[in-house]
A and B are shown apart, each in its own frame.
Chain A
Amino acid sequence: MSAIFRFFGRHRKGVGVSRVPPLFSSLVISAVIVCSLFGDYLVPRDPTEMNLAVRLCPPVWIEGGSWDYPLGTDLLGRDILSRIIAGSKISIIVSFLAITLGALIGVMVTMIAAYFGGWLGNVLMRTADSLQPIPIIIIGLILSIVYSPSLLTVIFSMVFILWARYARSLYGEALALMQQDFVSMAKVEGCSAFRIMTRHLFPNLANTIFILATLMVGWAILVEASLSFLGAGIPPPAPSWGRMVSEGRENITQAWWLSTIPGAAILLTVLAFNLFGDWLRDRLDPKLRQI
């Protein structure tokens, strides 16, 4: 039982955080990243190749399946395994891009708000607050209607909310840092605002930024999948896990694997990233733990 726990990263009481990430996360994350980088070489078949003769072929472990198409085929006879591998690229690229941009903007806003304070800080943080309750799916949908859905609309809708989340999460810590004596000392020494923000605030926020990023990856993948599910995501023929789930909806009773397998891919990836983020947070900053 405890072995299962450790596989998923829950550490034994009193022993402390393990020095390596949980096995489950390491395996899944490495697999996903390798697929997204080298997917083009790893796919057994062309993910967009249609072969109506073998449409709706079940996965290999079910009667009727074969090793030619280990995870089965979809409505148009495309190999699901290849589409899963290819789809990882979309999930990873979109989420990493969105998170990097969102983090950049969010961190800059936080540091400026914390350093200068006063009405500027207030305005910036109230803006960030006001963006919190906006449901991102609505933004994504609106953008996809006004401009046709594309990589840009998906990323923009994510960044729009993401920077505010970063700002909100980091603000408290940034304020606490401003109270630290070494920041006062930097002012006494004559450091410029820019120098203080880059050399004193940012490096001390870096841990939290990274931890937040790993925790947000899961969220970003889900958002992309949801938007694709609703038809507002990356347009076809690029394979996206979310759209695969959506496409399989109608045939869910006869060919359950059409939705379930990409759904499982989403689940495992998001879970792996979340557990990795938990482990990282426990390792780097025990103060953030929520037991």
Chain B
Amino acid sequence: MSVLEVEDLHAHIYTQKGVVKAVDGISLKVNAGETLGLVGESGCGKSMTCLSIMRLLPRPNGQIVGGRIMLDDHDLVQMNEQQFRGIRGRLISMIPQDPYTSMNPCFTIGNQLMEPLRTHLGLRKSGLIERAKQLLDLVRIPEAISRLKNFPHELSGGMRQRVVGAIAVSCHPKLILADEPTTSLDVTIQAQYLYLIKQIQAEFGMAMIYVTHDLGIISKVCDRVAVMYAGKIIETAGIAEIFQQPAHPYTQALFSSIPPIDHDVDWLPSIEGQPPELINLPTGCRFFDRCRFAMERCQGKYPPEFQVGKKHFTSCWKYVL
């Protein structure tokens, strides 16, 4: 039963140099309790996809220009801003990347935790404090009551991300968008954080979209993975299939270019060249000029989605007979 259904989403950013097609026809589904990983490099459109779902694209230049986003029965694209404000924070919520700028340095942790509770759940005074304390306990922050009076700068990066996580789940949202929340955390702290997120997700049965480029994180947190390249999703698969049998040449090349920890490798195959500029996209497959398997028809038309395994899809002419 899907919580989120995105159909053919298009989002453009208007710049002086031209139109950047940040999200160029994305379709995905996330079920309750499931984590979908959005994988890709910088500029592929994964963060923009999250911002589009939250309708937080940079104004005035960013706009959703097509497609549908259905959250349960609500059509997020068609709603007006006032209606959407009731959804943002309550039904969908986001954990941003940078723990140092994601909280307001002028307000206490308690204040920022209680804000969504006040706005969306209408709680008052004593109920607020009790709930805030419960939330801090949930994310395993010790001495919750005294922490409520702390300011963000008094906490470490890992703690801050936990508080941000607590704010995100405070109203029991149906969907959480996590935009690389552990990038700036140390590896051992990151492991703690991922474990915590998984526990909370299991407890509340939330759907999650986790944006990352780190394969270690994907293997720990995600149930399914969608690989993005130049604004499009080029492969979706379950977690086992994507590691054991990546289908798209980009996914294959990406995975093999990551140095393994558990054995030695003489030479690491690398992908030559750069991803294309989102202003000047080619008509055919966007990976064409970097692909080992490139054929003539790859250049002409963008490949359709093809099923290569159980719940495993990819857009590559190699698989289209």
Contacts and interface: CB of A to CB of B under 8 A. Distances in A.
Interface of A: 13-14, 16
Interface of B: 14, 16, 60-61
Contacts of B60: 13-14
Contacts of B61: 14
A14 B15 CA distance: 9
Nearest to B16: A16
Contacts of A13: 60
A16 B60 CA distance: 11
Nearest to B61: A14
Minimum-distance CB pairs A-B, first 5: A14-B60, A16-B16, A14-B61, A13-B60, A14-B14
5 contacts: A13-B60, A14-B14, A14-B60, A14-B61, A16-B16
Contacts of B16: 16
Contacts of A14: 14, 60-61
Where chain A touches its partner, the secondary structure class is loop
A209 B60 CA distance: 31
Nearest to B60: A14
Nearest to A17: B16
A191 to B, nearest CB: 32
A14 B60 CA distance: 6
Contacts of A16: 16
A13 B61 CA distance: 10
B127 to A, nearest CB: 40
Nearest to A16: B16
A16 B16 CA distance: 7
A27 B60 CA distance: 32
A14 B62 CA distance: 11
Contacts of B14: 14
Nearest to A14: B60
Nearest to A19: B16
A151 to B, nearest CB: 45
A19 to B, nearest CB: 10
A13 B14 CA distance: 13
B62 to A, nearest CB: 11
A49 B77 CA distance: 75
Nearest to B14: A14
A92 to B, nearest CB: 34
A291 to B, nearest CB: 14
A14 B61 CA distance: 7
B279 to A, nearest CB: 15
A243 to B, nearest CB: 47
Nearest to A13: B60
Nearest to B15: A16
B50 to A, nearest CB: 23
B58 to A, nearest CB: 11
A211 B14 CA distance: 28
A165 to B, nearest CB: 30
B65 to A, nearest CB: 16
A231 B60 CA distance: 53
A109 B57 CA distance: 44
B142 to A, nearest CB: 35
B3 to A, nearest CB: 34
B61 to A, nearest CB: 7
A13 B60 CA distance: 9
A16 B17 CA distance: 11
B312 to A, nearest CB: 42
A86 B60 CA distance: 48
A14 B14 CA distance: 9
A14 to B, nearest CB: 4
A60 B61 CA distance: 51
A8 to B, nearest CB: 21
A16 B61 CA distance: 11
A13 B59 CA distance: 11
A139 B16 CA distance: 48
B250 to A, nearest CB: 31
A16 B18 CA distance: 13
B57 to A, nearest CB: 13
B253 to A, nearest CB: 30
B12 to A, nearest CB: 14
A161 to B, nearest CB: 35
